[in-house]
Amino acid sequence: MGTGQVTLTDIGVRYGRRTALRDVSLRLGRGVTGLLGPNGAGKTTLLRVLATASGPDTGTLSVLGLDPLTPAGRRAVRRRLGHLPQNPGLPAHFTAFEFVDYVGILKEIGDREIRRTEARRVLEAVGLTADRGRRIRKLSGGMRQRVALAAALVGDPELLVLDEPTVGLDPEQRLRFRELVTGLGDDRTVLLSTHQTEDVAALCQNVVVLDHGTVKFHGTPAELALLARGRVWSSGKRADGALAAWRTGAGAFRNIGTPPTGADLLEPTIEDGYLLLLDGDREGADAG
Ligand SMILES: Nc1ncnc2c1ncn2[C@@H]1O[C@H](COP(=O)(O)OP(=O)(O)OP(=O)(O)O)[C@@H](O)[C@H]1O
Protein backbone atom coordinates (compact mmCIF):
# COMPACT_ATOMS: atom_id res chain seq x y z
CA MET A 1 0.00 0.00 0.00
CA GLY A 2 1.37 3.44 -0.94
CA THR A 3 2.06 6.07 1.69
CA GLY A 4 -0.60 8.61 2.48
CA GLN A 5 -3.23 6.08 1.58
CA VAL A 6 -6.73 6.06 2.97
CA THR A 7 -9.03 3.14 2.26
CA LEU A 8 -12.69 2.89 3.19
CA THR A 9 -14.54 -0.36 2.66
CA ASP A 10 -18.33 -0.62 2.78
CA ILE A 11 -18.65 2.22 5.31
CA GLY A 12 -22.16 2.76 6.63
CA VAL A 13 -23.38 5.42 9.09
CA ARG A 14 -26.90 5.81 10.44
CA TYR A 15 -28.42 8.51 12.63
CA GLY A 16 -31.42 6.75 14.11
CA ARG A 17 -33.50 5.67 11.13
CA ARG A 18 -31.71 8.02 8.72
CA THR A 19 -28.91 6.53 6.63
CA ALA A 20 -26.14 9.11 6.15
CA LEU A 21 -23.62 6.81 4.40
CA ARG A 22 -24.37 3.53 2.67
CA ASP A 23 -21.65 1.07 1.60
CA VAL A 24 -19.07 3.74 0.81
CA SER A 25 -15.85 2.29 -0.57
CA LEU A 26 -13.05 4.65 -1.58
CA ARG A 27 -9.31 4.63 -1.94
CA LEU A 28 -7.43 7.93 -1.74
CA GLY A 29 -3.74 8.61 -2.15
CA ARG A 30 -1.47 11.62 -1.97
CA GLY A 31 -2.68 14.82 -3.55
CA VAL A 32 -5.87 16.83 -3.22
CA THR A 33 -9.28 15.18 -3.53
CA GLY A 34 -12.44 17.29 -3.64
CA LEU A 35 -15.69 16.00 -2.18
CA LEU A 36 -18.80 17.39 -3.86
CA GLY A 37 -22.45 16.66 -3.16
CA PRO A 38 -25.75 18.37 -2.42
CA ASN A 39 -26.82 19.39 1.10
CA GLY A 40 -27.34 16.29 3.20
CA ALA A 41 -25.36 14.01 0.84
CA GLY A 42 -23.16 12.76 3.68
CA LYS A 43 -19.96 14.77 3.12
CA THR A 44 -19.51 15.95 6.71
CA THR A 45 -20.34 12.47 7.99
CA LEU A 46 -17.68 10.95 5.74
CA LEU A 47 -15.07 13.52 6.76
CA ARG A 48 -15.86 12.98 10.45
CA VAL A 49 -15.33 9.24 10.06
CA LEU A 50 -11.96 9.82 8.37
CA ALA A 51 -10.94 12.36 11.00
CA THR A 52 -11.78 9.84 13.77
CA ALA A 53 -14.43 12.23 15.16
CA SER A 54 -17.05 9.49 14.89
CA GLY A 55 -17.00 5.79 14.12
CA PRO A 56 -18.97 4.07 11.35
CA ASP A 57 -21.75 1.59 12.12
CA THR A 58 -20.50 -0.82 9.50
CA GLY A 59 -17.42 -1.30 7.34
CA THR A 60 -13.68 -0.97 7.84
CA LEU A 61 -11.12 1.72 7.19
CA SER A 62 -7.41 2.07 6.98
CA VAL A 63 -5.87 5.52 7.43
CA LEU A 64 -2.14 5.93 6.75
CA GLY A 65 -1.81 2.19 7.29
CA LEU A 66 -3.54 2.36 10.71
CA ASP A 67 -6.92 1.17 11.93
CA PRO A 68 -8.73 4.11 13.56
CA LEU A 69 -11.44 1.79 14.86
CA THR A 70 -9.04 0.56 17.56
CA PRO A 71 -8.10 2.93 20.44
CA ALA A 72 -4.35 2.67 19.71
CA GLY A 73 -4.87 3.15 15.96
CA ARG A 74 -7.13 6.12 16.59
CA ARG A 75 -4.53 7.85 18.78
CA ALA A 76 -1.82 7.23 16.19
CA VAL A 77 -3.99 8.60 13.35
CA ARG A 78 -4.81 11.73 15.37
CA ARG A 79 -1.11 12.52 15.74
CA ARG A 80 -0.77 12.59 11.95
CA LEU A 81 -4.05 14.28 11.09
CA GLY A 82 -5.32 17.86 10.70
CA HIS A 83 -9.08 18.38 10.76
CA LEU A 84 -11.02 21.52 9.91
CA PRO A 85 -14.54 20.67 11.10
CA GLN A 86 -17.68 22.24 9.64
CA ASN A 87 -18.45 24.30 12.75
CA PRO A 88 -15.13 24.63 14.54
CA GLY A 89 -16.57 26.36 17.66
CA LEU A 90 -13.46 28.40 18.49
CA PRO A 91 -12.98 29.77 22.03
CA ALA A 92 -14.01 33.42 21.66
CA HIS A 93 -11.83 34.82 24.45
CA PHE A 94 -8.56 33.34 23.13
CA THR A 95 -6.39 35.33 20.76
CA ALA A 96 -5.68 33.65 17.40
CA PHE A 97 -2.13 32.96 18.59
CA GLU A 98 -3.18 31.56 21.97
CA PHE A 99 -5.64 29.20 20.35
CA VAL A 100 -3.22 27.86 17.75
CA ASP A 101 -0.54 27.52 20.45
CA TYR A 102 -3.05 25.57 22.56
CA VAL A 103 -3.72 23.24 19.62
CA GLY A 104 0.05 22.69 19.55
CA ILE A 105 -0.15 21.51 23.18
CA LEU A 106 -2.98 19.11 22.27
CA LYS A 107 -0.82 17.84 19.41
CA GLU A 108 1.91 17.10 21.95
CA ILE A 109 4.47 19.67 20.83
CA GLY A 110 6.07 19.83 24.26
CA ASP A 111 8.84 22.37 23.65
CA ARG A 112 7.40 25.86 24.15
CA GLU A 113 9.67 27.63 21.66
CA ILE A 114 9.12 25.01 18.95
CA ARG A 115 5.36 25.30 19.56
CA ARG A 116 5.41 29.08 19.30
CA THR A 117 7.46 28.97 16.12
CA GLU A 118 4.93 26.51 14.71
CA ALA A 119 2.02 28.77 15.73
CA ARG A 120 3.67 31.70 13.97
CA ARG A 121 4.28 29.54 10.88
CA VAL A 122 0.67 28.38 10.47
CA LEU A 123 -0.76 31.84 11.19
CA GLU A 124 1.57 33.25 8.53
CA ALA A 125 0.43 30.51 6.12
CA VAL A 126 -3.20 31.67 6.43
CA GLY A 127 -2.32 35.39 6.31
CA LEU A 128 -3.10 36.16 9.95
CA THR A 129 0.28 37.36 11.19
CA ALA A 130 -0.91 40.93 11.71
CA ASP A 131 -4.07 39.78 13.54
CA ARG A 132 -2.56 37.03 15.68
CA GLY A 133 -2.91 39.06 18.90
CA ARG A 134 -6.62 39.83 18.41
CA ARG A 135 -9.29 37.96 20.33
CA ILE A 136 -11.24 35.48 18.22
CA ARG A 137 -14.55 37.10 19.14
CA LYS A 138 -13.34 40.33 17.47
CA LEU A 139 -12.36 38.64 14.19
CA SER A 140 -14.58 38.51 11.08
CA GLY A 141 -16.16 35.21 9.99
CA GLY A 142 -13.56 34.70 7.24
CA MET A 143 -10.71 35.38 9.67
CA ARG A 144 -12.13 32.85 12.14
CA GLN A 145 -12.27 30.32 9.33
CA ARG A 146 -8.58 31.00 8.71
CA VAL A 147 -7.77 30.55 12.42
CA ALA A 148 -9.49 27.14 12.26
CA LEU A 149 -7.53 26.28 9.13
CA ALA A 150 -4.28 27.33 10.84
CA ALA A 151 -5.18 25.01 13.74
CA ALA A 152 -5.60 22.12 11.27
CA LEU A 153 -2.11 22.81 9.88
CA VAL A 154 -0.33 22.64 13.26
CA GLY A 155 2.33 19.94 13.29
CA ASP A 156 2.38 19.68 9.46
CA PRO A 157 0.06 16.63 9.32
CA GLU A 158 0.29 14.02 6.58
CA LEU A 159 -3.48 13.86 6.23
CA LEU A 160 -5.69 16.94 6.07
CA VAL A 161 -9.47 16.65 6.28
CA LEU A 162 -11.07 20.01 5.51
CA ASP A 163 -14.83 20.54 5.69
CA GLU A 164 -15.81 23.45 3.43
CA PRO A 165 -12.53 25.30 3.99
CA THR A 166 -13.32 28.18 1.62
CA VAL A 167 -16.67 29.14 3.17
CA GLY A 168 -16.62 32.81 4.11
CA LEU A 169 -13.28 33.57 2.45
CA ASP A 170 -13.06 36.66 0.26
CA PRO A 171 -11.75 36.23 -3.32
CA GLU A 172 -8.16 37.11 -2.41
CA GLN A 173 -8.12 34.73 0.55
CA ARG A 174 -9.66 32.01 -1.59
CA LEU A 175 -6.74 32.35 -4.00
CA ARG A 176 -4.28 32.32 -1.08
CA PHE A 177 -5.98 29.15 0.19
CA ARG A 178 -5.50 27.55 -3.23
CA GLU A 179 -1.80 28.42 -3.16
CA LEU A 180 -1.49 26.98 0.33
CA VAL A 181 -3.27 23.71 -0.49
CA THR A 182 -1.42 23.29 -3.80
CA GLY A 183 1.85 23.34 -1.85
CA LEU A 184 0.50 20.87 0.71
CA GLY A 185 -0.94 18.40 -1.76
CA ASP A 186 2.44 17.49 -3.26
CA ASP A 187 3.40 15.12 -0.48
CA ARG A 188 0.30 14.90 1.69
CA THR A 189 -3.20 13.53 1.42
CA VAL A 190 -5.81 16.28 1.43
CA LEU A 191 -9.55 15.64 1.33
CA LEU A 192 -11.75 18.73 1.22
CA SER A 193 -15.48 19.11 0.87
CA THR A 194 -16.86 22.08 -0.99
CA HIS A 195 -19.88 23.38 -2.83
CA GLN A 196 -17.59 25.36 -5.14
CA THR A 197 -16.89 23.50 -8.37
CA GLU A 198 -14.31 26.21 -9.23
CA ASP A 199 -12.28 25.16 -6.19
CA VAL A 200 -12.29 21.59 -7.45
CA ALA A 201 -11.27 22.68 -10.95
CA ALA A 202 -8.47 24.86 -9.57
CA LEU A 203 -7.11 22.56 -6.88
CA CYS A 204 -8.02 18.91 -7.02
CA GLN A 205 -6.38 16.02 -8.83
CA ASN A 206 -9.37 13.84 -7.95
CA VAL A 207 -13.01 14.40 -7.20
CA VAL A 208 -15.62 12.30 -5.43
CA VAL A 209 -19.33 13.05 -5.77
CA LEU A 210 -21.58 11.83 -2.96
CA ASP A 211 -25.37 11.80 -3.19
CA HIS A 212 -27.79 10.25 -0.72
CA GLY A 213 -24.91 8.70 1.16
CA THR A 214 -23.42 6.82 -1.78
CA VAL A 215 -20.49 7.48 -4.13
CA LYS A 216 -21.85 8.58 -7.50
CA PHE A 217 -18.52 9.41 -9.10
CA HIS A 218 -14.80 9.07 -8.39
CA GLY A 219 -12.33 10.27 -11.00
CA THR A 220 -10.45 13.31 -12.22
CA PRO A 221 -12.11 16.72 -12.59
CA ALA A 222 -11.65 16.41 -16.38
CA GLU A 223 -13.53 13.09 -16.35
CA LEU A 224 -16.37 14.69 -14.37
CA ALA A 225 -16.62 17.49 -16.96
CA LEU A 226 -16.60 14.90 -19.78
CA LEU A 227 -19.85 13.40 -18.44
CA ALA A 228 -21.48 16.49 -19.99
CA ARG A 229 -19.75 16.25 -23.38
CA GLY A 230 -22.26 16.91 -26.16
CA ARG A 231 -24.91 18.00 -23.63
CA VAL A 232 -24.16 21.70 -23.19
CA TRP A 233 -25.10 24.20 -25.84
CA SER A 234 -25.58 27.89 -26.49
CA SER A 235 -28.79 29.45 -27.79
CA GLY A 236 -30.38 32.88 -28.13
CA LYS A 237 -33.27 31.93 -25.84
CA ARG A 238 -33.86 29.37 -23.12
CA ALA A 239 -34.13 25.97 -24.86
CA ASP A 240 -37.31 23.95 -24.27
CA GLY A 241 -36.58 20.78 -22.37
CA ALA A 242 -33.19 21.90 -20.96
CA LEU A 243 -32.54 20.48 -17.48
CA ALA A 244 -30.94 23.81 -16.58
CA ALA A 245 -30.41 27.02 -18.54
CA TRP A 246 -29.14 30.46 -17.62
CA ARG A 247 -28.18 33.64 -19.41
CA THR A 248 -24.45 34.24 -19.31
CA GLY A 249 -22.76 37.63 -19.05
CA ALA A 250 -22.35 37.62 -22.86
CA GLY A 251 -26.16 37.51 -23.26
CA ALA A 252 -26.59 33.98 -24.75
CA PHE A 253 -28.22 31.11 -22.85
CA ARG A 254 -26.13 28.18 -21.67
CA ASN A 255 -28.34 25.08 -21.74
CA ILE A 256 -27.71 21.65 -20.24
CA GLY A 257 -29.62 18.54 -21.25
CA THR A 258 -30.31 16.86 -24.58
CA PRO A 259 -29.45 19.37 -27.32
CA PRO A 260 -31.51 19.82 -30.49
CA THR A 261 -29.96 18.76 -33.82
CA GLY A 262 -27.32 21.22 -35.02
CA ALA A 263 -27.02 22.91 -31.62
CA ASP A 264 -24.02 25.13 -30.96
CA LEU A 265 -22.23 22.81 -28.52
CA LEU A 266 -20.05 24.25 -25.74
CA GLU A 267 -17.09 22.85 -23.86
CA PRO A 268 -18.47 21.27 -20.66
CA THR A 269 -17.25 22.28 -17.20
CA ILE A 270 -17.09 20.30 -13.95
CA GLU A 271 -20.29 22.04 -12.87
CA ASP A 272 -22.09 20.78 -16.00
CA GLY A 273 -20.91 17.21 -15.36
CA TYR A 274 -21.93 17.44 -11.72
CA LEU A 275 -25.42 18.79 -12.54
CA LEU A 276 -26.01 16.10 -15.14
CA LEU A 277 -24.74 13.35 -12.86
CA LEU A 278 -27.20 14.32 -10.14
CA ASP A 279 -30.08 15.31 -12.43
CA GLY A 280 -29.68 12.13 -14.49
CA ASP A 281 -30.11 10.16 -11.30
CA ARG A 282 -33.22 12.09 -10.31
CA GLU A 283 -34.71 11.61 -13.79
CA GLY A 284 -34.09 7.88 -13.42
CA ALA A 285 -35.61 7.89 -9.94
CA ASP A 286 -38.67 9.81 -11.19
CA ALA A 287 -39.11 7.37 -14.06
CA GLY A 288 -38.74 4.42 -11.69
N1 LIG B 1 -26.36 14.45 14.31
C2 LIG B 1 -27.26 14.06 13.41
N3 LIG B 1 -28.45 13.51 13.78
C4 LIG B 1 -29.35 13.11 12.86
N5 LIG B 1 -29.16 13.19 11.53
C6 LIG B 1 -28.01 13.74 11.10
C7 LIG B 1 -27.00 14.19 12.01
N8 LIG B 1 -25.95 14.68 11.28
C9 LIG B 1 -26.30 14.53 9.99
N10 LIG B 1 -27.52 13.96 9.88
C11 LIG B 1 -28.20 13.60 8.62
O12 LIG B 1 -27.30 12.79 7.87
C13 LIG B 1 -27.36 13.14 6.49
C14 LIG B 1 -25.97 13.55 6.01
O15 LIG B 1 -25.61 14.76 6.65
P16 LIG B 1 -24.19 15.45 6.41
O17 LIG B 1 -24.09 16.61 7.37
O18 LIG B 1 -23.13 14.43 6.46
O19 LIG B 1 -24.35 15.99 4.90
P20 LIG B 1 -23.47 17.04 4.08
O21 LIG B 1 -23.27 16.45 2.72
O22 LIG B 1 -22.25 17.41 4.82
O23 LIG B 1 -24.46 18.29 3.97
P24 LIG B 1 -24.15 19.87 3.81
O25 LIG B 1 -23.68 20.09 2.40
O26 LIG B 1 -25.50 20.47 4.03
O27 LIG B 1 -23.15 20.26 4.86
C28 LIG B 1 -28.42 14.23 6.36
O29 LIG B 1 -29.63 13.60 6.01
C30 LIG B 1 -28.50 14.82 7.74
O31 LIG B 1 -29.78 15.33 7.99
DSSP the chain: --TT-EEEEEEEEEETTEEEEEEEEEEE-SEEEEEE--TTSSHHHHHHHHTTSS--SEEEEEETTB-TTSHHHHHHHHHTEEEE-SS----TTSBHHHHHHHHHHHTT---HHHHHHHHHHHHHHTT-GGGTTSBGGGS-HHHHHHHHHHHHHTT--SEEEEESTTTT--HHHHHHHHHHHHHHHTTSEEEEE-S-HHHHHHH-SEEEEEETTEEEEEE-HHHHHHTTTT-EEEESSPPTT-SEEEE-TTS-EEEESSPPTT-EE----HHHHHHHHHHHHHHHHHH-
Q: Is the CB of 17 under 6 A from ligand 1?
A: no
Ligand 1 centroid, distance to 216 Cα (angstroms): 17
Q: Do 255 and 238 meet the contact criterion of CB atoms below 8 Å apart?
A: yes
pLDDT in tens, 180-226: 898 887 789 999 999 999 999 999 999 999 999 999 999 999 999 99
Domain boundaries in the chain? Answer: 1-80+157-218, 87-155, 225-287
Q: Is the CB of 40 under 6 A from ligand 1?
A: yes
- The ipTM of this complex is 0.97
HSE-up of 258 (CA within 13 Å, CB side)? 3
Q: Is the pLDDT of residue 131 over 90?
A: yes
Q: Is the CB of 39 under 6 A from ligand 1?
A: yes
Mean pLDDT of the chain: 92
274 confidence band (pLDDT: 50, 70, 90): very high
pLDDT in tens, 218-267: 999 999 999 999 999 999 988 888 888 999 888 899 999 999 999 999 99
Report the alpha-carbon distance of residue 62 to residue 81 in Å, rounded: 13
For residues 127-142, give the mean pLDDT: 94
pLDDT at 3: 62
Among 14, 15, 194, name the best residue to mutate to test ligand 1's pocket (greatest count of ligand atoms within 8 A of Cβ): 15
286 confidence band (pLDDT: 50, 70, 90): very low
Q: Do 12 and 24 meet the contact criterion of CB atoms below 8 Å apart?
A: yes
pLDDT in tens, 7-43: 999 999 999 999 999 999 999 999 999 999 999 999 9
> What percent of the chain lies above the pLDDT cut of 70?
95
Ligand 1 centroid, distance to 20 Cα (angstroms): 6
For residues 129-142, give the mean pLDDT: 94
Q: Is the pLDDT of residue 1 over 50?
A: no
Superfamily of domain 1-80+157-218: P-loop containing nucleotide triphosphate hydrolases (3.40.50.300)
